[in-house]
Amino acid sequence: MTILVTGSTGNIGKRVVAGLVGAGQRVRAMTRDPVAATAKLPAGVEVIHGDFERPETWADALNGVERVYLFSYVDPAPSSGPGFIETAVEASVCRFVVHSAAAAGFEYQGDPEDTTLSAFRRHLAEEREFHRGIERAVEASGAQWTHIRMGLLAAGSDWAEAVRTTGTVRAPFPRSGSSLVHEADVAEIAVAALLTDEHLGAAYTLTGPEMVTQEDQVRAISEAIGKEVTLVELTPEEARTEWHDPAEGMDHEIIDWILEQLEASVRYPGPVPPTDTFERLTGRPPRSFTQWARDHAEDFR
Ligand SMILES: NC(=O)c1ccc[n+]([C@@H]2O[C@H](COP(=O)([O-])OP(=O)(O)OC[C@H]3O[C@@H](n4cnc5c(N)ncnc54)[C@H](OP(=O)(O)O)[C@@H]3O)[C@@H](O)[C@H]2O)c1
C-alpha cells in the first residue's frame, strides 16, 4: 500500500512521514520542492513533485496511492475541472485523513462577511467555513475519512528568532494563552488513522493538556535553553504599531483578531479549551508545552 502525504514538509506532515516510515510503510511525500524536501525527510521516502494549484502534477503524485494525508491547502471546490479530492478517488484513493482545525468544530456559524461581527468572530466563522469545506468535500467523496482538528500548535510560535537574537519576547496580554498542542501528538493520531480502521468517520479535536499562558511559555523556553528569556509586555496599541506589516500579511484586520483572541484567552480556558481526546485515544496524557520547549530547545538557542 502506498500512502501519499501532502504538506509533507510542514510541521505535522514531516512527523506523519516519519511515523509512517517508522511503521514500515511505503510513503510518498508530495512537495513543490523535491530537492529541499529530500534533504529534510527520512531516507526511504519517495519524494514527488506536486502542487495543489497545478493539476498537471497530480496524476504522478496519486499513481497507485490508496491513502492520503490531506493538507488544508487543497481547494475543495475548484471553479473549473475536477479537484484534487475527486481526482484522487478516481485514481485509487479510498481513505483521507484530513488536516483540519479546531475551528471546524465550533458551534458558531455566523456569516464571515457580516461586518457587524468583531474581527475575531469573523475570523472564527471564516476558519470554520474554510476547514468544513474540505471536510465536507471528503465526506462526499465516497472515500473513508478521519478529520484531525488541531488546536493552536506550539510549533506555530514565531518567537525563536527574537529569543536567539535578543533574549526577549515582546507581546501583549502576557497572561493570555491556549492549550497549545505538540505536533507529535497530532501526527501520532494521524498515523493511527491512516493505518488502522479504528478512527473511520471520526472528527477529533486535539489540544495540549492545559492552557499555557505566554508567561508560562517564556518560562518553559528559558528552562529548556538554560538561559533567562525576558517577556516585555506591550500595550495593545504598541503591538498594533510593531506588528503592522501588510507586506507580511499583517494588516489591521488580522492584528485586530489576534489582539481580540489574546484578550479573550486571558480568561481560562480561552477560545479552545483543552480536550481529553488524545488521552482517550492513547491512554496517555498529551505532551506538555514544557516537553515541546525541550524538544525544540535548539531552535531557541
Ligand atoms: N499553526 C496552527 O496553530 C494551526 C492550528 C490548526 C490548524 N492549522 C491549519 O494548518 C494550515 C497551515 O499550517 P502551517 O502554517 O503550520 O503549515 P506548515 O506546517 O508550514 O506547512 C505548510 C505545507 O504546505 C505545503 N504547501 C504550500 N503550498 C502548497 C501547494 N500549493 N500545494 C501543495 N502543498 C503546498 C508546504 O509544502 P512545500 O513547501 O514543501 O510544497 C508545506 O508542507 C492552515 O490551514 C491552518 O488553518 C494551523
Nearest-atom index, ligand 1, CA of 100 = 7
Task: Flag whether pLDDT at 269 surpasses 80.
Answer: no
d(CA 209, CA 104): 20
- Mean of pLDDT values over 94-107: 94
Task: Flag whether pLDDT at 125 surpasses 80.
Answer: yes
Ligand 1 centroid–CA 235 distance in Å is 30
pLDDT the model gives residue 150: 98
Residue 111: all three cell numbers together = 456569516
Nearest residue CA, atom 44 of ligand 1? 72
Ligand 1 centroid–CA 73 distance in Å is 7
CATH number of 2-153+182-208+273-287: 3.40.50.720
Q: Which of 186, 38, 185 is nearest to 101 (CA)?
A: 186
47-66 pLDDT per residue, tens: 999 999 999 999 999 999 99
pLDDT the model gives residue 122: 84
Among the residue ranges 113-122, 235-244, 260-269, 274-283, the one predicted with the least confidence is: 113-122
pLDDT the model gives residue 111: 74
Ligand 1 interacting residues, C-beta cut-off 6 A: 6-11, 13, 31-33, 37, 51-53, 71-73, 101, 150, 152-153, 156
Whether 87 and 78 have beta carbons less than 8 Å apart is answered as no
pLDDT the model gives residue 110: 67
Q: Among 4, 6, 9, which residue has the most ligand 1 atoms within 8 Å of its CB, making it the best to mutate?
A: 9
User: What is the pTM for the complete model shown?
Assistant: 0.95
Q: For 107-229, where are the E strands, in sequence order?
A: 144-150, 168-172, 177-178, 203-206, 212-213
185-242 pLDDT per residue, tens: 999 999 999 999 999 999 999 999 999 999 999 999 999 999 999 999 999 999 999 9
Cell 479546531 sits on residue: 102
Q: Among 73, 97, 99, 254, which residue has the most ligand 1 atoms within 8 Å of its CB, making it the best to mutate?
A: 73
- As a whole number, the mean pLDDT across the chain is 95
Residue 115: all three cell numbers together = 461586518
d(CA 282, CA 186): 12
Nearest residue CA, atom 21 of ligand 1? 10
Task: Flag whether pLDDT at 46 surpasses 80.
Answer: yes
Domain definitions of the chain by residue range: 2-153+182-208+273-287
**Could you tell me the CA-to-CA distances from 100 to 60, 193, 296 in Å, in that order?**
25, 14, 24
161-187 pLDDT per residue, tens: 999 999 999 999 999 999 999 999 999
Whether 163 and 221 have beta carbons less than 8 Å apart is answered as yes
Task: Flag whether pLDDT at 285 surpasses 80.
Answer: yes
Task: Flag whether pLDDT at 108 surpasses 70.
Answer: no
Nearest residue CA, atom 25 of ligand 1? 7
Please, which pLDDT band fits residue 106 given cuts at 50, 70 and 90?
confident
Cell 479549551 sits on residue: 273
d(CA 271, CA 252): 21
Task: Flag whether pLDDT at 103 surpasses 90.
Answer: yes
- Mean of pLDDT values over 149-157: 94
pLDDT the model gives residue 175: 96
pLDDT the model gives residue 82: 96
- Mean of pLDDT values over 111-136: 86
pLDDT the model gives residue 118: 78
pLDDT the model gives residue 113: 75
Nearest-atom index, ligand 1, CA of 150 = 6
